[in-house]
Amino acid sequence: MKKNYQYLDKVNFPSDIKNLKRSELKILAKEVRQELIDTVSVTGGHLGAGLGVVELTIALHYVFDTPNDKLIWDVGHQSYPHKILTGRKDKIKTLRQGNGLSGFTKRSESEYDPFGAAHSSTSISSALGIAVANKLSKKSDQVVAVIGDGAISAGMAYEAMNNAGVSKTKLIVVLNDNDMSIAKPVGAMSTYLAKLLSTKLYFSLRETIKLIISAFSKRFSDKAGKAEDFLRSAVTGGTLFNSLGFYYVGPIDGHDIDDLIPVLQNAKNLNHDGPIMIHIKTKKGKGYEFAEKSSDKFHGVAKFDIKTGIQQKSKSNTPSYTKVFANTLIKHAEKDSKIVGITAAMPSGTGMDLFGKKFPSRMFDVGIAEQHAVTFAAGLATEGYKPYAAIYSTFLQRAYDQVVHDVAIQSLPVRFAIDRAGLVGADGPTHAGSFDVTYLSTLPNFIVMAPSDEGELIKMINTSIDINNNPSAIRYPRGNGFGVEIPSIDEKIKIGKGRVIFEGKNIAILNFGARLQECILAKENLNKKGINPTIIDARFAKPLDENLIWQIAADHQYLITIEEGSIGGFGSHVTNFLTEKNLLDSNLKIRTMTLPDQFLDHDTPVQMYKQAGLDSNSIEQKVLDLLNSKIIVQKQN
């Protein structure tokens, strides 16, 4: 049932906000916050970050002339209030649904999204690029980047600030400091502000100011807070940000519109030839009791009950691949003290939080720093340790040079646990693990594995423990396994050896990864049509099981490879092998099934696999097409 709002109903675009009084803006903030809670309770998504920036979002659109002035949100987790206020209010409940609004900023979605983002720490770089473009074009439009205290700890943000400081180009950066990213921020940079404001210098100056104030009438005592705020600004601004060339303002209360608007107006009107840093303090999850009390401030949530805060987690009797990985690694680490775990600000997402609870001195969360994570792991490997770098496929892309230069060239035994490999549903193309098979299996020395179920994942982890002369990667999907029998930690597989699941004739389906069950479903339907394909679980994209592939080529007329990855991966290596061995001739026809050459929009996993042509129905039809059959598979609803 649609709620009736006093002011939000009148606000469709930022121009409508400018017609409201300050007192009315505060009511609007409450209404936006309520609409956000109502929406995410139905759609799921990122809640806490958006709740924390409601007042900031309103103030920014009130002060600046968007979309002419460019407003860039780092990552985009906190952009839902921005979407509500920029012409997308009526579609907000389609968030993260098929054909609905993206969960992140997206250029093709709105002119109010000048830069698409879903990975961390890109806002200052992109904002500086836009600001320089405006300068070259002699445009007077303002550019504002909003970045969180977690995101600003990443190396790319500091590279951007270092460049911005010498650019002599006006750029406004709003540092949203809520002491909370996805997980607790880690590293020296993330605690810099807190440490700075607890120094002896700061406290001695503070006590001096208090003594001065106490010597005067009590009517001056209410100025103490403002004096201390000034001191915090002077001490902080005079160090890190000033040294990087920024004009620093803050910290200020990010939930106080009366404070935010004049500061933003001053920054807008300031005739300054350089970057400006506005440091605001906010509370993640602000305004929703259960989010405020949550350990992760309701960062990413499933659908939930507003009254109780209880999330409607999917019910499954099978374990997630992430937990299978974590629990298996823990069992090995109990026996092998050389095993260490590494993650880049995603401990809960990768299962490294479980490993860290068991082995706190052997788990390293390096923060939003994938490049560092990989080279850090390489350093550990040189000293005989067995590092497991647990990183999402989409985030490992950010460290590709380190994978090549620091790991592969030196053939160091870093073990990559690649979570979220393949399509990821509602998070869409920015988080899909589409390219890891291709970008890893092209590298000399690498071993690239993909389990077809959770039991195979355990065997591959068991096997990886003893890989001491090569880098290796195990890629596995988001979600739950299939409920197969769980093997012991002693069961291993031979490197580069696949397995035959079903022996058939004439046509063979060679699967790599988690699409095996769909291949089996396709086989069952094909059997009803008198077609009996051989089903192979390849297990390895590198090294290939050349003997098995040779045998398949000799015994079959048709071969189909299937993988949940882009072109250039497993299927391409199989085709190259057959070509090099002169096995690909008129007696053997081969087809490869990969993710399509496009970025697939967010949707349910079922719909995404159907669109990608990697569901059982598509596999069945591919077989029939290859056999030149006139049998048409009935489309499933």
Q: What is the DSSP string of 73-122?
A: ESSSTT-HHHHHTTT-GGGGGGTTSTTS--SSB-TTT-TT--S-B-STT-
Confidence class for position 184, pLDDT limits 50, 70, 90: low
The pLDDT value given to residue 143: 96
546/284 Cα distance (integer angstroms): 53
pLDDT band at 87 (very low <50, low <70, confident <90, very high): very high
Decide if pLDDT at 231 tops 80: no
pLDDT band at 47 (very low <50, low <70, confident <90, very high): confident
**Dihedral sign for Cα atoms in the order 575, 578, 584, 587:** negative
Burial zone of 445 (CB within 10 Å; 0-12 exposed, 13-18 middle, 19+ buried): middle
Residue at token pair 């094909």 = 526
* Terminal-residue alpha carbon distance, the chain: 29
Radius of gyration, alpha carbons of the chain: 27
pLDDT score of 1: 58
How many whole angstroms separate alpha carbon 612 and alpha carbon 436?
17
Lowest mean pLDDT among 30-34, 415-419, 627-631: 627-631
Instruction: State residue 448's pLDDT score.
Output: 98
Cβ–Cβ < 8 Å for 47, 40: yes
Angle at 159 between CA 158 and CA 165, to 5 degrees: 85
DSSP letter (8 states) at residue 427: G
pLDDT at 182: 41
Q: What pLDDT is stored for residue 536 in this prediction?
A: 98
The set of catalytic residues is 284, 370, 398
Q: Is the pLDDT of residue 634 over 80?
A: no
DSSP conformation class of 367: -
Higher-pLDDT residue of 315, 26: 26
d(CA 25, CA 622): 58
- Which of these ranges, 199-203, 286-290, 467-471, 531-535, has the smallest mean pLDDT? 199-203
DSSP assignment of 198-223: TSHHHHHHHHHHHHHHHTS-GGGGGG
pLDDT in tens, 495-529: 999 999 999 999 999 999 999 999 999 999 999 99
How far apart are alpha carbons 333 and 137 in whole angstroms? 58
Predicted confidence (pLDDT) per residue in 144-166, tens digit: 999 988 888 888 998 999 999 99
What is the per-residue pLDDT across 421-479, written as a single tens digit (0 to 9) for each?
Answer: 999 988 888 898 999 999 999 999 999 999 999 999 999 999 999 999 999 999 999 98
pLDDT band at 539; cut points 50, 70, 90: very high
Spell out the domains of the chain, with CATH numbers in brackets: 8-186+246-301 (3.40.50.970), 321-475 (3.40.50.970), 499-626 (3.40.50.920)
| Number of H-type helices and E-type strands within the chain | 26, 19
Task: Point out the least confidently predicted range of 59-63, 95-99, 134-138.
Answer: 95-99
CB atoms within 10 A of CB 81: 26
pLDDT > 90: percent of the chain: 64
Instruction: Please report which helix (H) or strand (E) contains residue 313, including its range.
Output: none
Instruction: Look at residue 55 and give its three-state secondary structure.
Output: helix
The average confidence (pLDDT) of the chain is 87
Banded model confidence at residue 248, pLDDT cuts 50, 70, 90: confident
Alpha-carbon distance of 35 to 223, in angstroms, equals 37
Torsion sign, CA atoms 215, 218, 220, 223: positive
**Share in percent of the chain as helix, strand, coil (round to 5):** 45, 15, 40
Q: Give the residue-averaged pLDDT of 7-16.
A: 94
Q: Regarding predicted confidence, which is higher, 188 or 390?
A: 390
pLDDT tens digits, residue range 186-230? 454 444 444 444 344 444 444 444 544 454 444 444 544 554 444
To the nearest whole percent, how much of the chain has pLDDT over 70? 88
The pTM (predicted TM-score) of the whole model is: 0.84
Residue 481, number of CB atoms within 10 A of its CB:
24
Only one residue has tokens 């977690």, namely 150
Q: What pLDDT is stored for residue 181 in this prediction?
A: 45
Contacts of 532 (CB under 8 A, 6+ apart): 504, 505, 506, 523, 526
pLDDT at 486: 93
C-alpha to C-alpha distance for 531 and 524, rounded to whole angstroms: 9
Q: What is the pLDDT of residue 27?
A: 95
